[in-house]
Amino acid sequence: MLKIANIVGARPNFMKIAPIHRRMQASEEFAPLLIHTGQHYDKKMSQTFFVDLGMPEPDMYLGVGSGSHAVQTASVMIAMEKILLEEKPDWIIVVGDVNSTLAASLAASKLHIPIAHIEAGLRSFDRAMPEEINRILTDSISDLLFVTEQSGLDNLKKEGVADEKVHFVGNVMIDSLVEHLQKAKESQILQELEIMPKRYILMTLHRPSNVDDKNNLENILTTLEVIQKELPIIFPIHPRTKKRIDEFGLADQVERMKNLRLVEPLGYLPFLRLMSESKLLLTDSGGIQEETTYLRVPCFTLRENTERPITAEIGTNRLVGMDRGAILKGFEEAMNGFFKDSKIPPLWDGHASERILETLIKQ
């Protein structure tokens, strides 16, 4: 049996590891360990997702908590090295682009433990984003690179990664979505919020470039003032964003918007229900660009770039940045049913995790 250490640290990791870990547990070929670094430690940011996704309690919880990028990365490396020396896994699997992903990879690489990176090859080409640095460095030391879309294949080839390391398997985020969509429809979140399907907008906002810059955050809120007059905006607010609104003295502006409804962070199932029934999404999240593409819900990404270009090329995603005119124009098109045609990308079919396990068995 292959002993695999599956590493998670933040919410997007949970959705990507869940189908892989579950299939490994059901297989006689694997002995999986689930290691949670504790990068996201708030109950709503972590534990609730484990319950919604049907994931077991982690075998190890590192509890690294918050801190600067350097502190967080170093804390994970120190704790991870000890576990890897004790457990001696045949492989570690890391997903996405958070600090835990890079830190676990560095620790494993120094101990000569093979690394499989899921969601490899994605590039925004914006090195001001910490996630971009994490992606590039993790890919450079990984032994297997599992790719979600064509751009990942193209980027890795340009970077000189050997073809035999790279495998186009599809998107494990979509595996979780497919597995849980029916259960999510049972959520009572629409009734609790007293909203009707397709009669509200869903929003997420958390990236430092948007919320740590007062001018950018104020510009977004000013744009929301116009949109919320047409439809209510449901805004599960990230702790970082809430903190910045208070620090920048923007709370009064938020309170004046009667149709901007701030709610606590939501679990996976209620959020999936909201997303699937929304008129459109406003977001700066990477994963939501993918999920809305599969659900064929219009998505406006409040960024100048995306590491998931397929979502904008054939999916429902549109990059609007901080351009108020672009946001309002897209909103008008979506409201009038004139939004662009879309397709679901190749291999986003709910079976990516199966292809990943097949590849690992052959190594």
Q: pLDDT of 177-198, one tens digit each?
A: 999 999 999 999 999 999 999 9
206 classed as catalytic: yes
| Residues 104, 97: Cα–Cα separation, whole Å | 11
| Residues 63, 34: Cα–Cα separation, whole Å | 14
Does the structure show a pLDDT above 90 at 70?
yes
Does the structure show a pLDDT above 60 at 157?
yes
| Residues 288, 352: Cα–Cα separation, whole Å | 18
Q: pLDDT of 127-141, one tens digit each?
A: 999 999 999 999 999
Q: Closest Cα partner for 278 from 330, 231, 336, 223?
A: 231
> What SS3 class is residue 350?
coil
Does the structure show a pLDDT above 60 at 44?
no
Given 40, 206, 238, 351, the catalytic residue? 206
> What SS3 class is residue 127?
coil
Using an 8 Å Cβ cutoff, are 45 and 204 in contact?
A: no
Alpha-helical regions (H) of the chain: 11-25, 47-52, 69-87, 99-110, 130-141, 150-158, 172-184, 189-193, 208-211, 214-227, 239-247, 251-256, 268-277, 286-295, 310-313, 324-335, 352-361
Mean pLDDT estimate for the chain: 94
Alpha-carbon separation of residue 164 from 144, 160, 359, 363 (angstroms): 8, 12, 11, 11
Domain positions in the chain are 2-171+348-361, 182-335
Q: How big is the chain by its Cα radius of gyration, in Å?
A: 20
Task: Tell me the longest C-alpha to C-alpha distance in the chain.
Answer: 59
Q: Per residue in 263-279, is it b (16+ CB within 10 Å) or e — as a string?
A: eebbbbbbbbbbbbbbb
* pLDDT for res 209: 87
Using an 8 Å Cβ cutoff, are 330 and 156 in contact?
A: no
| Residues 120, 180: Cα–Cα separation, whole Å | 24
> Domain 2-171+348-361 belongs to what architecture?
3-Layer(aba) Sandwich (3.40)
> Do 2-171+348-361 and 182-335 agree at the fold level?
yes
Q: Closest Cα partner for 48 from 272, 203, 257, 201?
A: 272
| Residues 322, 332: Cα–Cα separation, whole Å | 17
- Backbone φ and ψ for 283, nearest 5 degrees, come out as -155, 160
DSSP label at residue 36? E
Per-residue confidence band for 166, with pLDDT thresholds at 50, 70 and 90? very high
Q: pLDDT of 5-18, one tens digit each?
A: 999 998 889 999 99
In CATH terms, 182-335 corresponds, of 3.90.230.10, 3.40.50.1980, 3.40.640.10, 3.40.50.2000, to: 3.40.50.2000
pTM (predicted TM-score): 0.95
User: No. of H helices and E strands in the chain?
Assistant: 17, 13
